[in-house]
Structure 1
Amino acid sequence: MKPHLIPCLAGALLLSACASTTPTTSAVPTAATLEAAMADAERSVAAGEADKAYTILRNAGTRFPAEKAPWVQIAQLKFDRGVYGDAITNALEALQRDPNDRQGNSIVAVAGLRLSTKAVADLSQQNNLAGPLRTEAQQLATLLRNTLGEDVLVPVKGAKPPVKKPVTNGAKPPKVANQTTSADPFGALK
């Protein structure tokens, strides 16, 4: 080896050694415990720093992979902000860890209904709610009415409150025929 290369190699080794021992820092510190991470996220939300809270909770989900709490919290934050697709995705992460988690299941159900309601309303405005899609929407509405014990799912403003029907456990809802050709997707629900 040539003598003038030795100082160059020594300098390169020294620089690489310094580079590899420098600790990396992130904009969001990592909490030592799950409880600390959850508390940090709560403080971030209270301070109006939702993005920081999401990062803290995602990091907690990575550091504590068996825990559902970070995913439930992200799902709730997304739900509260009306980002229903993300709320469902994160709630499903929580449900992978605990399929019986009530809050996770509730977020999936209600966020899914809100997305579905918007999609049906959009289809109705485009006059594209017909045929099998309309029939399936009516069947799902009947199932919801029976499950919730409500005669009407979407009350009309100024109308009398609906009378509750008894909830039938395990009974299949009757098939609903295409009773109306109105552009109102909820016409058959009333």
Structure 2
Amino acid sequence: MFKHVLPGLVCVAFLSACASGGQSIANAPKPPTIAEAMAQADAAVMAGQNDKAYTILKSTSATFPTEKTPWVRMAQMRFDSGNYGEAIVNALEALSRDPDDTLAHSIVAVSGLRVTSKALADLSQKNNITGNVRSEAQDLAKLLRASLGQEELVPGAARTVQRKEQPKRAISAPASKPPATANNSSDPFGALK
């Protein structure tokens, strides 16, 4: 008899486990929508809790993996705090979701320039800009000048070149007309004689 009851008890146990699992899922809280999460993050930023806002945005990016908004906000927060490396990483994540996002492109470009300028400033203080690093820095400066359409990257910081005054050209009077002949004949070759 024990052989017949044991399989029945196992089936009852499995069925009761399946029935109770559905109730816990129905009672579980739903994750916030993207708009609610952004509002929570904004409220945390307004309260001065940037770490909490970043955590909310990070969990929102995991909940909504195709959404670019949390990544752009995280990139902007890191950029504003001066953490340019993380700003670049977060902005690149946003660009992987929307390659045409102008703000993300701007964050990547400006953060990259700030990291580069800091690294070059550190190297120049140590007088270690030589060889390939120096030539690459000069090439980057040329590229920046060309993209900005400027001769100088920092206007007004370059040395002023004094030009020699060129002598003024004399303004000449208009050429005078050849003297007219008194003979107004119909022969055009008459003046050649």
Verify the 8 A CA contact 1:68 1:98 in the aligned structure 2.
yes
CA deviation after TM superposition for structure 1 residue 156, in Å: 5.3
Verify the 8 A CA contact 1:30 1:37 in the aligned structure 2.
no
Q: Distance in 2 between matches of 1:114 and 1:137?
A: 14
Letter in 1 for 2:71: W
**What SS does the corresponding residue of 1:67 show, helix, strand or coil?**
coil
Aligned length: 135
CA deviation after TM superposition for structure 1 residue 154, in Å: 2.8
Under a length normalisation based on structure 1, what TM-score does the superposition of the two structures give?
0.65
| Residue in 1 that maps onto 2:60 | 60
CA deviation after TM superposition for structure 1 residue 153, in Å: 1.4
Measured against aligned partners, the alpha-carbon deviations of 1:70-114 in whole angstroms (never above 9, x if no partner) come to 000000011011110010011111111111111111101100000
Q: Greater Rg, structure 1 or structure 2?
A: 2
* Mapping for residues 130-145 of structure 1, pairs under 5 Å: 130-145=130-145
Q: Distance in 2 between matches of 1:116 and 1:30?
A: 44
CA deviation after TM superposition for structure 1 residue 42, in Å: 0.8
Letter in 2 for 1:68: K
Letter in 2 for 1:122: D
Q: Distance in 2 between matches of 1:86 and 1:77?
A: 10
Verify the 8 A CA contact 1:34 1:60 in the aligned structure 2.
yes
| Residue in 2 that maps onto 1:43 | 43
Under a length normalisation based on structure 2, what TM-score does the superposition of the two structures give?
0.64
Measured against aligned partners, the alpha-carbon deviations of 1:105-135 in whole angstroms (never above 9, x if no partner) come to 1101100000000000111111110111111
| Residue in 2 that maps onto 1:71 | 71
Q: Distance in 1 between matches of 2:58 and 2:158?
A: 45
Q: Distance in 1 between matches of 2:55 and 2:77?
A: 12
Q: Distance in 1 between matches of 2:56 and 2:50?
A: 10
- Across the aligned residues of Structure 1 and Structure 2, the Cα RMSD in angstroms comes to 2.5
Q: Distance in 2 between matches of 1:158 and 1:140?
A: 18
Verify the 8 A CA contact 2:152 2:158 in the aligned structure 1.
no
Please list every run of 5 or more consecutive structure 2 residues that lacks an aligned counterpart in the other structure: 1-19, 161-193
Measured against aligned partners, the alpha-carbon deviations of 1:34-56 in whole angstroms (never above 9, x if no partner) come to 01111111111111000000001
| Residue in 2 that maps onto 1:109 | 109
Share of identical aligned residues, percent?
Answer: 55
Moved over 2 A (4+): 154-160
**What SS does the corresponding residue of 1:143 show, helix, strand or coil?**
helix
**What SS does the corresponding residue of 2:48 show, helix, strand or coil?**
coil
* Mapping for residues 1-190 of structure 1, pairs under 5 Å: 32-155=32-155
Please list every run of 5 or more consecutive structure 1 residues that lacks an aligned counterpart in the other structure: 1-16, 22-28, 161-190
Q: Distance in 1 between matches of 2:157 and 2:47?
A: 37
**What SS does the corresponding residue of 2:113 show, helix, strand or coil?**
helix
